[in-house]
């Protein structure tokens, strides 16, 4: 993933914020200065903040204890609260950037997620450096960076998906053990994505039932084999859109989509724009 620093606020929707949930702003930042310090009991802000470390580390203090928030760690706080977070140089005084992404949100529907996650994890959430939540944020943030226009209600929908995925990741943490069935399934999908495949065929080849491999796949990667197949097809289609002049229907066929119309529907749902518009906006001329 190629991260670009930035911040994107959303127009405040009073009805959604007061009755459900609402995104205030999201961003990707890097800090390496002691001036980066927030006392969450003295902030002119109310709501929730989720902050995940992409690289380096920062400090989070809560209930008299200090926690090092390293790569793969996050905190989820309700403001105001008796806590603080800040950047601190390493012991040898070298400056190691604290790089992170964050989500500011508000609304009563956020509270049950916040309470349940804290019941399970305590102050610090250890998601690991490779997790589906990062991908979900990256795709949303990348859409904002590329087109800088996402409807507020679409942002609310995304936020709910983000919170559900966060809670699921906490309730069912991935074990360190990798499944050979999942590895074989990934290899098979990458090899056959361009064909109109039936994943039952994959299972007969790797010697496992689809329900079993689907469960293992989801436990390990946080998505289903079908979702993974779609992700691979979309990534390949974006490469062809930007690096060739092939017609949309040919790209659809080469990436395993049954029709150009279906390809456009799937692409627009994931990227919020059509393949043709994506090509026009991002292809180097």
Taken in order of first residue, the domains within the chain and their CATH numbers are 6-171 (2.60.120.280), 180-282 (1.10.10.60)
How far, in Å, CA of 110 to CA of 34, rounded?
Answer: 31
How far, in Å, CA of 162 to CA of 168, rounded?
Answer: 10
The confidence score (pLDDT) of residue 219 equals: 79
- Per-residue pLDDT of the chain in tens (285 residues, 90 and over written 9): 788 888 888 876 777 777 889 999 999 999 988 888 999 998 887 899 999 999 999 999 987 778 888 888 899 999 999 999 999 876 655 567 899 999 999 999 999 999 998 887 778 887 877 788 999 999 899 888 887 667 788 889 999 999 999 998 877 755 555 666 788 889 999 999 998 888 888 876 765 668 767 877 887 888 899 999 999 999 999 999 988 889 999 999 999 998 999 999 999 988 889 999 988 887 665
The confidence score (pLDDT) of residue 126 equals: 77
Closest CA to 174 of 134, 217, 138: 217
User: Given phi > 0 = left and psi -120 to 50 = alpha, else beta, which region is 64?
Assistant: left
How far, in Å, CA of 2 to CA of 262, rounded?
Answer: 28
Helical ranges in the chain per DSSP H: 14-19, 111-121, 132-147, 152-171, 180-192, 199-206, 210-221, 225-243, 248-254, 260-271, 275-282
How far, in Å, CA of 215 to CA of 225, rounded?
Answer: 9
Token pair 């994931």: residue: 270
Residue 134 vs residues 95, 102, 131, 182: alpha-carbon distances, Å: 25, 11, 6, 20
The confidence score (pLDDT) of residue 66 equals: 81
- Bridge partner list, 29: 100
Q: How many residues does the chain have?
A: 285
Please answer whether residues 103 and 159 qualify as being in contact, where contact means their C-beta atoms are separated by less than 8 angstroms: yes
The confidence score (pLDDT) of residue 9 equals: 85
The confidence score (pLDDT) of residue 15 equals: 76
Closest CA to 191 of 180, 205, 177: 205
- pTM of the entire predicted model: 0.61
Closest CA to 65 of 49, 80, 84, 90: 84
The confidence score (pLDDT) of residue 263 equals: 94
The confidence score (pLDDT) of residue 73 equals: 86
The confidence score (pLDDT) of residue 218 equals: 84
Report residue 179 as tokens: 């499944």
**CA 73 to the chain's CA centroid:** 14
CA-based end-to-end distance of the chain: 24
């Amino acid at each position: 993933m190629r991260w670009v620093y930035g911040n994107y606020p959303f127009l405040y929707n009073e009805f959604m914020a007061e009755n459900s949930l609402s995104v205030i702003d999201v961003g990707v930042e890097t800090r390496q200065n002691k001036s980066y310090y927030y006392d969450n009991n003295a902030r002119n802000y109310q709501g929730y903040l989720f902050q995940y470390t992409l690289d380096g580390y920062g400090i989070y203090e809560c209930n008299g204890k200090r926690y090092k928030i390293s790569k793969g760690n996050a905190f989820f706080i309700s403001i105001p609260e008796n806590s603080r977070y800040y950047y601190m140089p390493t012991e040898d005084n070298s400056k190691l950037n604290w790089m992170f992404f964050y989500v500011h949100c508000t609304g009563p529907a956020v509270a049950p997620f916040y309470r349940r996650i804290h019941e399970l994890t305590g102050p610090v959430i250890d998601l690991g450096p490779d997790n589906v939540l990062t991908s979900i944020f990256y795709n949303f943030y990348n859409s904002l960076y590329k087109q800088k226009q996402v409807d507020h209600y679409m942002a609310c929908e995304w936020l709910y998906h983000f919170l559900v995925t966060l809670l699921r990741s906490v309730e069912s943490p991935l074990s360190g053990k990798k499944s050979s069935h999942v590895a074989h399934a990934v290899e098979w999908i990458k090899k056959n994505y361009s064909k109109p495949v039936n994943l039952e065929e994959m299972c007969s080849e790797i010697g496992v039932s689809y329900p079993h491999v689907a469960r293992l796949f989801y436990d390990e990667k946080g998505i289903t084999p079908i979702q993974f197949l779609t992700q691979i097809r979309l990534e390949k289609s974006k490469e062809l859109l930007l690096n060739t002049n092939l017609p949309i229907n040919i790209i659809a066929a080469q990436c395993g989509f049954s029709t150009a119309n279906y390809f456009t529907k799937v692409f627009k749902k994931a990227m919020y724009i059509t393949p043709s518009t994506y090509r026009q906006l991002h292809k180097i001329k």
